[in-house]
Amino acid sequence: PKLCSGEYVGALGLTEPGAGSDALGSMRTKAVRDGDFYILNGSKMYITNGPIADIVLVYAKSQPDLGNRGVTAFIVETDTPGFQIAQKLTKMGFRGSPTAELVFEDVVVPVANIVGSEHEGHQVVMSGLDIERAALAPISIGIAERALELSIEYANDRYQFGKPIASFQMIQSMIADMYTWVETMKAFTYQVLAELADVDATSAGRGEIHARTAAVIMYNANTVNQILNHAVQIHGGAGYLWDTEINRLFRATKLGEIGAGTTEVRKLIIAGELLGR
């Protein structure tokens, strides 16, 4: 309840130093049952909110012989003995979002803290990723809209050759492209979010919605990078300065092509669903 109310800060512990795109298959964090408890050992990497989280949803191998499907999801309170913040990580973008490597050394977690079913954490992962991808897609829209707004303002205010650079057709072409891309991002995103509202947890992680959530976050991430490339070009030297807002937005966009599944993994998901593989 405190997580839902905002009193607690949460984090998701899936990615590991050696387990990124193959998070389930390459997972090394182990969970060994001991009566009514599980003992967790391992580490998680690139964890958003890691340094400030009150609870972490941690995925661990509870039955290694089952491979990808021998994973269980646990709620771990960060004041539990054995939980450590190994290091705080410095990112080039989204710097207001703290990120860390987390370590679990003989962390004792009650069986009651399992999310979903025992050894069925892969279902929690897949249903959660569909929701996460659709929920993250609008972030790219917000960044893109602000970049367009700043670019229009700069193009009107910046004078070269005795007139605003907005009067040059090449600048106008970039502005027109940026606007069109923003509107297509909106249309696709709102459509997928509406579709996802009717999907239950048992249906997520496969089928058309699996492909569409991967497609929308991929499209938005790729497109916002194109938009910010234009935006920085319009700003010229000012766009290359670290302290400018447009540069901050430019640095933030790359995360969209990496976080919640890389562009390459998203393409595999889309093609796999379309080709029945």
Question: Active-site positions?
Answer: 132
Q: How far is CA 273 from CA 5, 40, 90, 209, 214, in A?
A: 37, 34, 36, 10, 11
Q: Judge whether 217 and 256 are in contact, CB under 8 Å.
A: yes
238-273: buried (b, 16+ CB within 10 Å) or exposed (e) per residue?
Answer: ebeeeebebbebbbbbbbbbebbbebebbeebbeeb
Instruction: Report the 10 Å Cβ neighbour count for 275.
Output: 7
| Tokens coding 181 | 């891309």
Instruction: Report the 10 Å Cβ neighbour count for 93.
Output: 17
Q: How far is CA 55 from CA 12, 23, 116, 140, 254, in A?
A: 9, 20, 17, 27, 27
